[in-house]
């Protein structure tokens, strides 16, 4: 699926770094902190979303889709976390729009199972956040049922919020050196991601594999996750990811920012979709 029913005014083609460059306001990428991805996790439980933000870093705006994680994967995540005595620093429940997961309340219960373990075992703080767009009756209903151990993080105004670039490939702008890979802060601020396919070093890498690379690079269980395997995935995804420009800074934009590789891929996929439906 792909959303290319866009007006030209909704797209900005990016052919040169100067077009998105802006002084970096986010601090310096610190590669030594990348190890932190291993004790922070984002559960991207569904890619379905009621908003279609064009630069959504889960690519829900240009590639709307409904894949959701199954309960078995969530249960395994909690079981393995407990077996491995995993001391998570935070667990974020996100998507897509997480309230659209068919078993969201059951997911809260599973996360609570881990919280109880964590309390007994570590007696330290654990942050659980829920990222909703709060833009539908369903999302508002789930918010009413949000357990009090979860922090509500719903601050999205609408799909016109200016976003960081995602579909701008560093490779296209000559800003990529695989031997000197510098993954962005997403790794150590948000951490690794579990989606419906498995574990990835970050949420944008998971989304890029899901809709573009399509090699199912996910690591299937938590027990198999190592820093080295996560790094292998980053060597295949960062080159396509607009967040990679973080050290030089980037402008945020509500319009879809597209570099050549992504533009060609979107157009090709869109043409195939149109041919399929015979229009």
Residues at the site binding ligand SF4, with contacts judged by CB under 6 A: 49, 51-53, 56, 58, 60-61, 95-97, 133, 156, 183-184, 186-187, 202, 204-205, 234, 237-238, 241, 243-244
Q: Which is nearer to ligand SF4, 58 or 101 (CB)?
A: 58
Q: Which is nearer to ligand SF4, 12 or 234 (CB)?
A: 234
Q: Which is nearer to ligand SF4, 95 or 198 (CB)?
A: 95
Q: How far is the CB of 71 from ligand SF4 (least distance, A)?
A: 21
Q: Which is nearer to ligand SF4, 75 or 181 (CB)?
A: 181
On whether the CB atoms of residues 98 and 45 are closer than 8 A, the answer is yes
Q: How far is the CB of 205 from ligand SF4 (least distance, A)?
A: 4
Q: How far is the CB of 61 from ligand SF4 (least distance, A)?
A: 5
Q: How far is the CB of 148 from ligand SF4 (least distance, A)?
A: 24
Question: What is the secondary structure of the chain as a DSSP string?
Answer: -------GGGEEE--SHHHH-----S----GGGGGGGGGEEEEEEE---S---TT-TT-TTTS----B--HHHHHHHHHHHHHTT---SEEEEEES-GGGSTTHHHHHHHHHHHHHHHHHHH-S--EEEE-----SHHHHHHHHT--TTSEE------TTS-B--SS--TTTTT---GGG----THHHHT-EEE-SS-EESSHHHHHHIIIII-S---BSSGGG--HHHHHHHHHHHGGG-GGGGTTT----BSSEEE-HHHHHHHHHHHHHHHHHTT-
Q: Which is nearer to ligand SF4, 112 or 153 (CB)?
A: 153
Q: Which is nearer to ligand SF4, 115 or 233 (CB)?
A: 233
Q: How far is the CB of 120 from ligand SF4 (least distance, A)?
A: 33
Q: How far is the CB of 58 from ligand SF4 (least distance, A)?
A: 5
């Amino acid at each position: 699926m792909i959303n290319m029913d866009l007006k030209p005014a909704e797209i900005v083609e990016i052919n040169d770094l100067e077009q998105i460059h802006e002084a970096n306001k986010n601090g310096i990428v610190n590669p030594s902190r990348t190890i932190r991805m291993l004790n922070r996790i984002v559960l991207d439980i569904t890619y379905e979303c009621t908003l279609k933000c064009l630069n959504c870093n889960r690519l829900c705006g240009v590639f709307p889709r409904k894949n959701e994680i199954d309960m078995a994967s969530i249960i395994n995540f909690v079981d393995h976390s407990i077996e491995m005595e995993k001391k998570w620093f935070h667990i974020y429940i996100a998507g897509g729009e997480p309230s659209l997961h068919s078993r969201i309340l059951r997911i809260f219960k599973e996360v609570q199972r881990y919280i109880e373990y964590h309390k007994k075992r570590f007696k330290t703080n654990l942050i659980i956040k829920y990222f909703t767009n709060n833009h539908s009756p369903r999302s508002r209903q789930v918010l009413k049922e949000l357990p009090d151990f979860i922090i509500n993080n719903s601050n999205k105004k609408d799909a016109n919020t200016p976003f960081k670039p995602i579909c701008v490939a560093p490779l296209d702008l000559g800003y990529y050196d695989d031997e000197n890979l510098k993954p962005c802060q997403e790794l150590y601020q948000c951490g690794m991601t579990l989606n419906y396919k498995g574990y990835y070093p970050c949420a944008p890498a998971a989304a890029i594999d899901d809709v573009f690379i399509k090699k199912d690079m996910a690591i299937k269980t938590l027990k198999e996750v190592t820093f080295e395997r996560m790094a292998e995935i980053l060597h295949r995804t960062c080159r396509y990811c607009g967040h990679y420009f973080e050290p030089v800074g980037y402008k945020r934009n509500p319009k879809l920012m597209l570099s050549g590789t992504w533009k060609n891929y979107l157009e090709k996929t869109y043409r195939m979709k149109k041919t399929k439906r015979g229009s």
